[in-house]
């Protein structure tokens, strides 16, 4: 792979480590910010104002300080461990959940590689040849956190919630692989930065972004992704207020970690959608300007983040528009609709590719 660690090994490791640190922190920051976005966006589209009471020295900053008050609340609450639960696993579950989600962020290609000090540095924190598989695998390992939380709570409701969560996530994982097979067949690589680079090609002036080549796969991916990351309208495992979910026996920051996991998973989903379907860091027409490599790469990072934010906005909008699915509808949608559609899409793609070549 051309993009991978070209600098000497230790510098590459240092660079990679710094980028992973930055990516994970970026994810956590955006996750905290998303809690504000979620409140305000839902308020706006429901003709409300939203949380605006937290203030520091009389400044309210549109309710942004609620992020801090939330964090303080979570951190100072009693950390309750159910006596009937399995203590170490009970504590491990949120860490597994959140760790897996946060690690996914490291595989996202935030930008093109930059020429710097005479070498080429990749802006993907973990430049893996099999990035897609890495992200999907980590998302599946995240299921263990859910099941672990349910099992170790020592509560039947928690256990049932964990099982529901596992059933949902595993069902949609199958669908997800079938969906991604088609675009990956076109790109011919599993390296996320290569995929982003591939989409910079143009066809009669139109960038060959995944969304134009595979519109059906994009819609299916967003649906299955929302289901796999347990976002509304598929938030049955959680249903904070109405359904007893797998984290019913959690309190304080451990509960907060599950919530953060959710937001981080949305960011990962948005990042994957951006990389696979929206051209990653690619801005149409930017390369024609002939900017220096560093500036172009930074603009690319900005474009990537902007695209991620846009996808997150759409996800939130969908979340606050659609009513929640019933569990049987959810499984029906996954197995009877999305999976066959994805397989049909794959067939058509392969057939079309064979005809065209």
> Nearest distance from residue 280's CB to another protein, in Å?
25
The window from 38-46, 140-148, 251-259, 342-350 that contacts another protein (CB under 8 A) reads 38-46
Structure-token match 């170790």, residue found: 152
User: Does 33 engage in binding with another protein (CB under 8 A)?
Assistant: no
Distance CA 56, CA 38 (A): 21
> Nearest distance from residue 211's CB to another protein, in Å?
15
Q: For another protein, what does the binding mask look like between residues 210 and 229, x meaning CB under 8 A? A: ---------x----------
Q: How many CA atoms lie within 13 A of 138 on its CB side?
A: 23
DSSP state of 288: G
User: Does 344 engage in binding with another protein (CB under 8 A)?
Assistant: no
Total binding residues for another protein by CB under 8 A? Answer: 14
- Of the two residues 13 and 313, which places its CB atom closer to another protein in the complex? 313
Q: Which has the closest alpha carbon to 169: 149, 189, 192, 190?
A: 149
User: Does 46 engage in binding with another protein (CB under 8 A)?
Assistant: yes
CB contact at 8 A, 149 and 92: no
Binding another protein (rule: CB under 8 A), the pick from 8, 47, 83, 205 is 47
Question: 3-state class of 96 per DSSP?
Answer: helix
> Nearest distance from residue 152's CB to another protein, in Å?
35
> Nearest distance from residue 186's CB to another protein, in Å?
23
The window from 22-30, 36-44, 99-107, 284-292 that contacts another protein (CB under 8 A) reads 36-44
Distance CA 212, CA 117 (A): 37
Distance CA 273, CA 248 (A): 31
* Residue 239: burial class (beta carbons within 10 Å; 0-12, 13-18, 19+): middle
User: Does 18 engage in binding with another protein (CB under 8 A)?
Assistant: no
Binding another protein (rule: CB under 8 A), the pick from 16, 41, 168, 193 is 41
Distance CA 48, CA 61 (A): 17
* Residue 118: burial class (beta carbons within 10 Å; 0-12, 13-18, 19+): exposed
User: Does 87 engage in binding with another protein (CB under 8 A)?
Assistant: no
- Of the two residues 44 and 295, which places its CB atom closer to another protein in the complex? 44
- Of the two residues 79 and 332, which places its CB atom closer to another protein in the complex? 332
DSSP state of 64: T
Distance CA 213, CA 199 (A): 10
Residue 127 vs residues 113, 281, 283: alpha-carbon distances, Å: 10, 15, 21
User: Does 321 engage in binding with another protein (CB under 8 A)?
Assistant: yes
- The contacts of residue 223 (CB under 8 Å, 6+ apart) are 333, 338
> Nearest distance from residue 48's CB to another protein, in Å?
5
User: Does 61 engage in binding with another protein (CB under 8 A)?
Assistant: no
Structure-token match 């203030």, residue found: 55
Interacting positions 298-317 with another protein (CB under 8 A): 317
User: Does 320 engage in binding with another protein (CB under 8 A)?
Assistant: yes
> Nearest distance from residue 321's CB to another protein, in Å?
5
- Of the two residues 50 and 82, which places its CB atom closer to another protein in the complex? 50
User: Does 318 engage in binding with another protein (CB under 8 A)?
Assistant: yes
- Of the two residues 41 and 122, which places its CB atom closer to another protein in the complex? 41
Q: Which residues bind another protein (CB under 8 A)?
A: 41, 43-49, 219, 317-318, 320-322
């Amino acid at each position: 792979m051309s993009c991978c660690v070209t600098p000497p090994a230790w510098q590459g490791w240092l660079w990679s480590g710094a980028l992973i640190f930055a990516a994970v922190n970026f994810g956590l920051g955006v996750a905290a910010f998303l809690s504000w976005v979620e409140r305000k966006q839902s308020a706006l589209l429901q003709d409300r104002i939203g949380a605006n009471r937290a203030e520091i020295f009389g400044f309210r900053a549109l309710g942004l300080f609620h992020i801090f008050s939330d964090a303080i609340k979570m951190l100072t609450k009693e950390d309750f461990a159910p006596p009937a639960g399995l203590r170490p696993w009970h504590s491990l579950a949120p860490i597994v959940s959140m760790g897996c989600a946060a690690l996914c962020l490291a595989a996202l290609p935030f930008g093109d590689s930059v020429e710097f000090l005479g070498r080429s540095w990749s802006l993907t924190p973990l430049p893996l040849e099999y990035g897609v598989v890495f992200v999907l695998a980590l998302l599946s390992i995240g299921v263990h956190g859910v099941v672990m939380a349910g099992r170790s709570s020592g509560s039947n409701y928690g256990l049932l919630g964990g099982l529901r969560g596992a059933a949902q996530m595993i069902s949609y994982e199958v669908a997800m692989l079938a969906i991604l097979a088609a675009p990956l067949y076109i790109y011919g690589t599993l390296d996320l930065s290569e995929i982003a680079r591939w989409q910079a090609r143009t066809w009669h002036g139109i960038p060959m972004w995944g969304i134009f080549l595979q519109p059906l796969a994009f819609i299916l991916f967003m649906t299955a992704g929302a289901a796999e990351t347990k976002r509304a309208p598929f938030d049955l495992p959680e249903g904070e207020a109405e359904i007893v979910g797998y984290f019913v026996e959690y309190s304080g920051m451990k509960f907060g970690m599950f919530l953060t996991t959710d937001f981080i998973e949305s960011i990962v989903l948005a990042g994957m959608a951006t990389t696979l379907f929206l051209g990653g860091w690619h801005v149409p027409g930017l390369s024609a300007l002939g900017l220096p490599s560093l500036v172009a790469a930074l603009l690319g990072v900005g474009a990537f983040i902007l695209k991620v934010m846009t996808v997150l906005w759409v996800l939130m909008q969908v979340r606050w528009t659609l009513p929640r699915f019933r569990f049987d509808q959810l499984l029906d949608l996954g197995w009877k609709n999305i999976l066959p559609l994805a397989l049909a899409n794959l067939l058509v793609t392969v057939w079309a590719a064979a005809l065209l070549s």
